[in-house]
Structure 1
Amino acid sequence: MLLTEIPFSYRSTKETGVSAFAYKRIFFDQLPRDALNYADEHAIPIFSFGREIYFESIIFDIMAAIRREDERIFEESKIKYILENDFSHEDAALLKNELSLKFKPYVAAAYFKAMKEDALLSTDRLLNNYYHNKPLHEKSLPGSYDGGFFIIMTSKEESFFSFQLILKEFLETNGIDINTIRTAFSDVGKSDNDIPRCIRESYCAYKVAGLEHLDLVNYSDIGTWRFLMPNLHSDDLRAYTSDYIDLIKHKKTLMDTAFAWIETGGDFLKAAKKLSCHQNTIRYRISNMKKLMEPHLDLTDFQFFERLAAAVRIFKALDSQEQNH
């Protein structure tokens, strides 16, 4: 039977997750025009092979081509662009269509990196394991960035737990102990237009995890960092932190006290234990800072904590970035 006489089953390829068309010239010279047009419309690659090529080789060649295309689309420079730019709904939809992952209604992203600087993750090994694991390939897509890995995950369920399971499966497949990595999750979004947002959220949360010395963090739990991180280099935020920190940055005792008090959530006793002193000493130093920084206001400890916390967090984030460059 000629190919042109076969019902055009390729019309269902988008629904069944087919990534490419391939044919051997021993059977026919070329695909029918209708098939070629369909492939053009849906950006489906076409591979042509001679009679000397086995079908197994065709499959492996296609898998390799898909991997190269994924790595091209999800390479570090592209990820950097996603992190640094806002995407319109149209641009987000275009990114979704460029990736080989067959997206379900919901999407989330995670970023993870080895906690020890000398314990680098093997990019080739992780990607090889991923591309030879079909179940994992159907619900996730990894990409290396800045010594760590992003993983885009998709699920038919909006439950955050379903995405935790996907990451767990990915880590177990690669023999990665979650206790050896620092991991950050984005919120769950819709696959149609939230992929760039999820990528940015996971990386933002990861940077916060490093500043707060956390091993695992969700974007939804990072509080005011959600506003501070994206606006870190604004003149207003720099001016704000300078107004507070410049008054004490050359006074080590006060700087240490400010950091300890903020890191312990404004708990005088915990801050005292952190600095090996009495809590009254912490209260005295905070009182002095309050007079120094807000001389014309009668602030409660809670009010002062809110103001100082923002300044300390901005300072820590900026200082961390300067040290990493």
Structure 2
Amino acid sequence: MAVTVKDLLGLPIMKNFKVIAGSKGLTKTITTTEILDFEFIREGYRERIFEGNSLVLSSLLFAKDQPELIFEAIKKLVYLNVHAFAYKPVFFNALPQEALDYAEKMSFPILEFGDDEFFEEIIFSIRGLVEKDHALGFIEPLLKEMVNRDFTKEEAEAARDQINPLLRPVVVALCVKVKGMDESQVMHVIRRSKPDERLASKTFVGKLNDRFIILLSSDELNTARYQAIFEDVMVAYGLAGNEFTIGIGHPRNLAERFELNIREAYWAEKVAEIENEDVKYYKDLGIYKLIVTHINSKRTEEYMRDYLAPIFDEDDKDADLLQTAIEYVLAKGDMIKAAERLYCHKNTIRYRIGKLQEKLDPNTNEKEFYQNLAAAIKVYLLLNMIRQQEEEK
């Protein structure tokens, strides 16, 4: 993850900046902001003050009586690995054409801004964005680790301190997938957010791929209080009014297995997507709780593939058996609801279920067959979702 020139243009203070040359370089990264003063153009003077990977701001005072110096300055900035240049049209309303042509050739963005933006405010805004990006880049791998393995007590305490040391004693985690929002948009939302100090002290909002990981904390377990804090977070991050799927973990004391907060919310959200539900609580996952703890095991996948093998390679005549099995399981074994989901008569479903049992598990009764089928189908659906999301990255 890195902040680009294009990202900077999304900052409120830079909303009126105009790109006047070098638009092909808007994907260049920015790690700091610097100022070009009137002494810069002197031969050998403080050349290395420019660290590179930067946006340089200028009023062009140094070229007030010598406009030809602008072209020389642009060339030197490119040489010093500066990634963009922004000027305030105080002394020049337009730059020399040769400077613009060179910037275009070198894909070096030149931006123009007005009288309402001050250097200090621009610098502080960019610094805040870069620092937030750095924090996100550090926290996301930690969140992934929390999903995938158990932490020691010391590791859990360190993770808490890194995520938000100010969290209140009782925490609940949520994993939120906003409909239509991809990974870069999630990043953009978090980067631009400015929650007030009161809200920031008792919450955390981070990114895990294309999902938001949200921690809500309070001094005691209070469902209504958590709901109010969640609504405040949605407003603060500009997410209110969106459609989303939410997975919610168990409320926990901070000292209890901190990584489980993230893990439970993450898997609850995935199951919510599979079952087409807006909200899913981890406590209601049923057999999924067992499956997710072994989802990366080869034996888990082998069980699923061995059990469903007779219908994976069906000819066209019976190709709908797998989909019937999926909808039957998602309907929790209710044939009438499965028929509604598949837009067909319940007797058709009854026939297909009979065929499924005949092919997959002929020596079991109806109840045993459903239990075995449900386990295999739920593994299949989870693995398919995980792989599909990995391919979309």
**TM-score, normalised to structure 2's length?**
0.60
SS at match of 1:75: helix
Residues of 1 paired with 2:130 and 2:253: CA distance? 24
Please say if residues 133 and 191 of structure 2, whose CA atoms lie closer than 8 Å, have aligned partners that are also in contact: no
Counterpart for residue 255 of structure 1? 322
Please say if residues 184 and 203 of structure 1, whose CA atoms lie closer than 8 Å, have aligned partners that are also in contact: yes
Displacement of 1:64: 5.0
Residues of 1 paired with 2:130 and 2:184: CA distance? 26
**In the alignment, does 2:221 pair up with 1:158?**
yes
Counterpart for residue 129 of structure 1? 193
Residue number among 374, 378, 382 corresponding to 1:317 in the alignment: 382
Counterpart for residue 187 of structure 1? 250
Q: Relative to 1, partners in 2 of residues 1:267 and 1:99: Cα closer, same or farther, differing over 3 Å? A: closer
**TM-score, normalised to structure 1's length?**
0.72
Displacement of 1:146: 0.5
Percent identical residues: 26
Tell me how many residue pairs correspond in the alignment. 264
Residue number among 254, 270, 277 corresponding to 1:214 in the alignment: 277
Counterpart for residue 90 of structure 1? 154
Please say if residues 73 and 98 of structure 1, whose CA atoms lie closer than 8 Å, have aligned partners that are also in contact: no
Task: State the one-letter code of the partner of 2:230.
Answer: L
Counterpart for residue 275 of structure 1? 342
Residues of 2 paired with 1:257 and 1:267: CA distance? 12
Residues of 1 paired with 2:296 and 2:290: CA distance? 12
Counterpart for residue 237 of structure 2? 174
Correspondences of 1:64-83 after superposition (within 5 Å): 64=128, 68=132, 71=135, 75-83=139-147
Displacement of 1:87: 0.5
Q: Deviations over 1:37-72 (max 9, x none)?
A: xxxxxxxxxxxxxxxxxxxx9xx89x9599659826
Instruction: Provide the aligned C-alpha RMSD in A.
Output: 2.9
SS at match of 1:142: strand
Please say if residues 74 and 143 of structure 1, whose CA atoms lie closer than 8 Å, have aligned partners that are also in contact: no
Residues of 2 paired with 1:273 and 1:106: CA distance? 42
Displacement of 1:81: 1.9
Residues of 1 paired with 2:219 and 2:134: CA distance? 22
- For structure 1, list consecutive stretches of 5 or more residues without a partner in the other structure: 1-56
SS at match of 1:201: helix
Task: State the one-letter code of the partner of 1:200.
Answer: R
Residues of 1 paired with 2:181 and 2:313: CA distance? 30
Q: Relative to 1, partners in 2 of residues 1:74 and 1:108: Cα closer, same or farther, differing over 3 Å? A: farther
Please say if residues 186 and 210 of structure 2, whose CA atoms lie closer than 8 Å, have aligned partners that are also in contact: no
Q: Deviations over 1:213-244 (max 9, x none)?
A: 22222211222111112211223322221232
Counterpart for residue 78 of structure 2? none
